[in-house]
Amino acid sequence: MTTSLNNNFLPPGLISNLQQVLSSRNDDVEQRSSSLHHHHHHHHHLADSTKISSSSSSCSTSLSSWSEGNKDSLSTKPVVLVTNAEGIESPGLTFLVEALVLDASLDVCVCAPQLDRSVCGHSVTVRETISVCSNEVSGAIAYEVSGTPVDCVSLALSGALFSWSRPALVISGINRGSSSGQNMLYSGAFAGAREALICGVPSLCISLNWKKDVCCESNIKDAVNVCLPLIYAAVEDLQKGVFPKSCLLNIEIPSFPLTNKGFKITKQSQWRSSLSWQAVTATKNSPASHYMSNQQSLGIKLAQLSRDASAAGAARRLNSQRKNVEIESVGIAGKLSSQLKFKKYFRLELLEKERENVDENLDIRAVEDGFVSVTPVTISPTVSSEIQNSVSNWIATHLSGTIKLPLPGII
């Protein structure tokens, strides 16, 4: 196992604890693997360490009522809450839960979005009612929520769904796509893990560096095998009180998990996907196509289409009165009369961009080099004294006499 702790802007004690988590559990995980090897067979040294008990699920599969679905949550086993951003039916979540429920020592529960809510950031649903439906994933008690990943975690931890007061660990994943660098700010998956940390619950965000037209479903299964040892180590050390505190671990697995070079402690880079806005026609952005692809009931689809048609007719009449013009080119808009209004449709796409001269200790570089990147992330509002003094001096220069500066030595 490889670790790199250079230039990591985190407390030395935290880094020392984290390094211990990644390195000291090898022997224990190998023992777990050898005793349970007859259940599965893999060819990679990390995959070999993920063999787990084929015991029945610790969570009840009967969900005929809310109370019945919560019976097994009263057990004393450590609770692992799983969420994600891609939706409750995504293969990453399904494969991860399938593996976790085989370990009879864990109580695995799921609370995840009903639909794909990737790239929604740390958004929450307010002034609207969300629905929650009971479900099950590989025998684990599950709830699908018509909200964001943050809604899911916040609701699960509120005590309104599950009978347990608090899980031992929250896992967001396994998600397809990068959550490295500044993509963390956009990632719904990372936001779910961050919400858990804000609520005081240790969390992991696990992502597979998914490459379109290159990766396949088997890569997701391999990613599960790679991350299981770290999950087991986290649960065990949380019970012992030696897991790193006040941070979440953002874990990103290379596109081909079984060829990884080991785990590497990294720091967050400034890299992000390129945001590309493309003009589209009204038909490509029509509400009808959106609902046809996302709603589950034909009755809902037809009713929504009827409402959309009525709304579209009313909008056309109103636009006609206002002399609105729908155009396909922003350039044309500048040539039209200033008295006319226009409507335009755009769609955002996230594009990969080249990375040059990236520090080998940064998350995105480590993944590209074949390592499993483990980035400790805190939510501390602490600002360095250098930045604090710089801002104070800048404000004082322009607003002299109207601002109260901090006393010397006080940050």
Where do the domains of the chain lie?
Answer: 12-271+358-377, 275-350
| Owner of token pair 């190998």 | 30
The answer for residues whose C-beta is within 8 angstroms of residue 357's C-beta and 6 or more apart is none
Q: 32: Cβ–Cβ under 8 A, 6 or more apart, which residues?
A: 49, 51, 52, 232
Alpha helices, H only, 295-382:
298-322, 330-333, 363-368
Amino acid present at 376: P
Terminal Cα distance for the chain, rounded: 39
Give the pair of three-digit tokens for residue 210: 């998914």
- How far is Cα 273 from Cα 184, in angstroms, rounded to an integer? 11
The number of beta carbons lying within 10 Å of the beta carbon of residue 30 is 14
CATH topology of domain 12-271+358-377: Stationary-phase Survival Protein Sure Homolog; Chain: A, (3.40.1210)
Predicted pLDDT of residue 33: 45
Beta strand residue intervals within 138-224, DSSP E? 140-145, 169-176, 203-208
Q: How many CB atoms lie within 10 A of CB 128?
A: 7
Alpha helices in 207-297 (DSSP H): 217-240, 287-294
Per-residue pLDDT, 145: 97
Partnered with residue 140 across adjacent β-strands are: 137
How far apart, in whole angstroms, are the C-alpha atoms of residue 349 and residue 275?
Answer: 6
Q: At what angle do helices 188-198 and 149-157 cross, to 10 degrees?
A: 30
State how far the Cα of 108 lies from the Cα of 283, in Å rounded to an integer: 43
* Residue whose C-alpha is closest to residue 198's, from 122, 120, 118, 84: 122
As a whole number of angstroms, the distance between CA 310 and CA 254 comes to 49
DSSP β-bridge partners for residue 265? 374
Single pTM value for the model: 0.69
Q: What is the pLDDT along the chain (411 residues), one digit of tens a residue?
A: 444 444 444 555 556 666 665 665 555 545 444 444 444 444 443 333 333 333 333 333 333 344 444 544 456 899 999 999 999 999 999 999 999 999 999 999 999 999 998 888 898 999 999 999 999 999 999 999 999 999 999 999 999 999 898 999 999 999 998 888 778 888 999 999 999 999 999 999 999 998 888 888 999 999 999 999 999 999 999 999 999 988 899 999 999 999 999 999 998 887 766 677 888 887 655 554 444 444 444 454 555 555 566 666 655 655 555 555 555 555 555 555 556 777 888 887 777 766 666 778 888 899 989 999 999 998 887 777 887 788 778 777 777 655 555 655 544
Do the Cβ atoms of 233 and 25 come closer than 8 Å?
yes
